Amino acid sequence: MPILFDCNAIASQVLQDEASALLESVQQFQKPNDLEAIVKLILESQEKGGKLVIVGVGKSALVAQKISASMLSTGNRSAFLHPTEAMHGDLGMVEKNDVILMISYGGESLELLNLVSHLKRLSHKIITFTKSPNSSLSKLGDYYLSLKIKKKLAPLTPLQRLPLP
């Protein structure tokens, strides 16, 4: 089967897009933000035996799982919590000194919004990681990290047009 697209051009474009996105991310840390307070909060939690509980649904769940795995591989306490499972018994894994990181691009996922009140009732600090500080989720959190992306990357678009076998 012949390749119907330029692999080198796509690879080059993907790397250029990724580099551009990284440079845009750097600008976020040149403005006032909650990052220093968040790092301090997480470190204090770890010192008290707590962990970073990372929550996400859909594609954000995959990101949350990756962050949690990276934290664990560097010797930091962390766990992934799926919001639906949390509402059906898994909320018990959240302990006294844990800090919660909720990831949602839009910040309007009902599963996350429904979970916030339960976590707040248990007096947990909540960090939100969304595209807007004005999202419903961000407004409910204690700390906010920006997940602003100007352009969503779609390097496989030509592959999506290939006919199925």
How many C-beta atoms lie closer than 10 Å to residue 91's C-beta?
16
Would you say 94 and 124 are in contact if contact means Cβ atoms under 8 Å apart?
yes
Architecture of domain 50-146: 3-Layer(aba) Sandwich (3.40)
Structure tokens that stand for 88 in this block: 């059906």
pLDDT of residue 27: 74
pLDDT tens readout for residues 119-139: 999 889 999 999 999 999 999
> How many angstroms separate the CA atoms of 35 and 129, rounded?
11
Average pLDDT of the chain to the nearest whole number = 87
Would you say 140 and 116 are in contact if contact means Cβ atoms under 8 Å apart?
yes
CA pseudo-torsion sign 29, 107, 127, 32: positive
User: Does 163 score more than 50 pLDDT?
Assistant: no
Residue of higher predicted confidence among 31 and 51? 51
Short-list 143, 113, 149, 114, CA closest to 131: 149
User: Which pTM was predicted?
Assistant: 0.82
In which band, very low, low, confident or very high, does the pLDDT at 153 lie, cut at 50, 70 and 90? low
Q: How long, in residues, is the chain?
A: 165
